Amino acid sequence: PHALRWILMFDAVSCIIPGASRDYHVQSNIQASDLEPLSNDQMVQIQEIYEKYIKKTVHHIW
């Protein structure tokens, strides 16, 4: 649910359509909207991980 909560923090996102093949997946996905937004420190850490490990490989595809 934390990854879904992260996605919900972006103004450009109006909804998320996650996959769910089991009942407990649906329950977990629903919990994402109840989580507190990530802190600024957490967002900075996520951005640093993206820049260091992910961006070079996938950013040009987006």
Q: What is the pLDDT of residues 8-54, one digit of tens each?
A: 999 999 889 998 999 999 999 999 989 999 999 999 999 999 999 99
Q: CB within 8 A of 9, min separation 6: which ones?
A: 37, 38, 43
Per-residue pLDDT at 35:
95
| DSSP state at residue 1 | -
Per-residue pLDDT at 60:
85
Per-residue pLDDT at 49:
97
Minimal CA–CA distance to 1: which of 51, 50, 25, 47? 25
**Quick one: tokens of 41?**
């420190």
Per-residue pLDDT at 4:
94
What is the value of pTM for the model shown?
0.72
Per-residue pLDDT at 34:
93
